[in-house]
A and B are shown apart, each in its own frame.
Chain A
Amino acid sequence: MEYHPIPQPEEIEVRVREDAMGAYFMMFATTAMGLPLPILNLVAAVVYYYVNRDKGKFVQFHTLQSLYSQIPVTLLNSGLVAWTIVNFAKDYDFTSFYWGYLVMCGTAGLVYFIFSLVGAVKARKGIFYYFVFFGKVAYHQVYRIRPEHGTSAAQNRPPNY
């Protein structure tokens, strides 16, 4: 599989770098909003991606990386909120598996936060910073050279006799 060449830091304009950095910082801004309803973070990430997708592959890569890494964190947090509500509503026990899950969500949130912070700083410097798994997926998505198809114009033909 072939990929488009990636630009070097000096080739990337400052405005582009700032837009790329914004993908991560936007997450922090929406975190407080997303605490009671984690899904809001994800909505914000999707909106940011669609607004900025035309600003070049560098911005696309960072917004996608930020968006993809947001998905599991959102799902984990949504699961935690749901589990907590069910426990309170049904008067269930807060089992050790619940507390384990809480710790895992906290760890995931912390790791996500640190990676995003580093990602934002690197993006500002025009550097590609790849998150584990999500970095590769985002790179593959943005820089893969897609085979061209459907370019030939449709032609009208007479019926077959």
Chain B
Amino acid sequence: MQRSILRDLLILLGVFALIWLAASLFHYPDDPQLLSIEKEERLGEAYVDLILLNPMFRELENETIDSAVTIIGERLEAGLKQSDYHYSFVVFENKMINAFTVPGGNILISTGLIAFCDSPEELAAVMAHEMGHVEERHVLSRLIKELGIDILTSGDQYVLGEVTGRLTSSSFDRKQEEEADRFAAELLERSSIEPRTLATLFRKLEKEEDNELMKHFEIISTHPNFSSRIKEALLYEPGDDFEARSMDLDWASIKAGL
């Protein structure tokens, strides 16, 4: 009898442990993991092509700027521990201070933002923050939640238009912003860029919060508490072996080409 009771108990525990495990591993319909990176990259390319057709987001053709952004991007990519994404950084002509993430590792940066940054490190901080949204798949999560995975992957022209509209005015919740900030600080450190540059950037953004040119800037679009973000950035302590390495870019002359 006692052995039979023990056997029943083990069966019961086993069945419920399996239910817990299976339900935890199951991908729910709004889980971004349902969409492979390859599929996301293909969708991302289509979105970018469509966004760049818009006169407000016309791609900048300036080798100096492109090469500066590429150098910064390569430094950051080298600092990534591991990534499934092939990053693409595109600069578009717009005096608005803006940068946003498009699924598939595409980050679009406005010329206004480059003009706003006083150093390549500040631009690197913004790019690292956007890369945080890419790696955490925040954009995709939001799109799947808002539109559903079936609509998102339909490839329909109207859907593409709708998605690109949402991407260019993207905003994330406070938690996602914090995750991206933390990711950015760690990535900057691994890329030998002073992670507390984020604090400098936030302080500048705080001062300019009411600036009309920034009204679409994703980093500040969720009414962030700048004080706590500055504090978090300042509290971030790089490892003992951290040594900042200069970007080796003549930022003033690069900006002069804008």
Hey, which bits of chain A sit against chain B, CB under 8 A? Answer: 1, 91, 93, 96-97, 99-104, 107-108, 132-133, 136-137, 140
A140 and B19 form a contact (CB under 8 A): no
| Chain A residues positioned under 8 Å from B19 (CB to CB) | 100, 103-104, 107
Closest Cβ–Cβ distance, residue A87 to chain B (whole Å): 12
| Chain B residues positioned under 8 Å from A132 (CB to CB) | 8, 11-12
CA distance A103 to B2 in the complex (A): 31
- Render B1-38 as a binary contact track against A, CB cut-off 8 A, 1 for contact: 11011001101100010011111111010000000000
Where chain A touches its partner, the secondary structure class is: helix
CA distance A97 to B5 in the complex (A): 29
CB-defined A-B contacts under 8 Å, sample of 28: A1-B1, A93-B175, A96-B24, A97-B20, A97-B24, A99-B24, A100-B19, A100-B20, A100-B21, A100-B22, A100-B23, A100-B25, A100-B26, A101-B24, A102-B23, A103-B23, A104-B19, A104-B23, A107-B16, A132-B11, A133-B9, A133-B11, A136-B4, A136-B5, A137-B5, A140-B1, A140-B2, A140-B5
CA distance A82 to B19 in the complex (A): 20
Closest Cβ–Cβ distance, residue B28 to chain A (whole Å): 7
Q: A93-B175, A101-B20, A136-B8 are in contact. List 14 more A-B contacts (CB 8 A).
A: A91-B175, A97-B20, A97-B24, A100-B22, A100-B23, A101-B23, A103-B20, A103-B23, A104-B20, A107-B16, A132-B8, A133-B5, A133-B9, A140-B1
B16 and A108 form a contact (CB under 8 A): yes
Chain A CB count within 10 A is highest, among B5, B20, B21, B25, for: B20
Nearest B residue to A96, CB-CB? B24
Closest Cβ–Cβ distance, residue A144 to chain B (whole Å): 9
CA distance A104 to B19 in the complex (A): 6
Q: How many residues in B have their beta carbons less than 8 Å from beta carbons of A?
A: 19
| Chain B residues positioned under 8 Å from A96 (CB to CB) | 24-25
Closest Cβ–Cβ distance, residue B75 to chain A (whole Å): 30
Nearest B residue to A132, CB-CB? B8
CA distance A154 to B236 in the complex (A): 76
CA distance A133 to B9 in the complex (A): 6
B16 and A99 form a contact (CB under 8 A): no
CA distance A102 to B25 in the complex (A): 13
CA distance A104 to B22 in the complex (A): 9
CA distance A118 to B117 in the complex (A): 71
| Chain B residues positioned under 8 Å from A133 (CB to CB) | 5, 8-9, 11-12
CA distance A137 to B12 in the complex (A): 14
CA distance A107 to B22 in the complex (A): 12
- Top 10 A-B pairs, shortest CB-CB distance: A100-B24, A103-B23, A133-B8, A100-B23, A104-B20, A96-B24, A104-B19, A136-B5, A97-B24, A100-B20
CA distance A92 to B79 in the complex (A): 27
Given contacts A91-B175, A133-B8, contact A99 B1 (CB under 8 A): no
CA distance A140 to B2 in the complex (A): 9
| Chain A residues positioned under 8 Å from B5 (CB to CB) | 133, 136-137, 140
CA distance A91 to B9 in the complex (A): 36
Closest Cβ–Cβ distance, residue B158 to chain A (whole Å): 32
CA distance A100 to B17 in the complex (A): 10
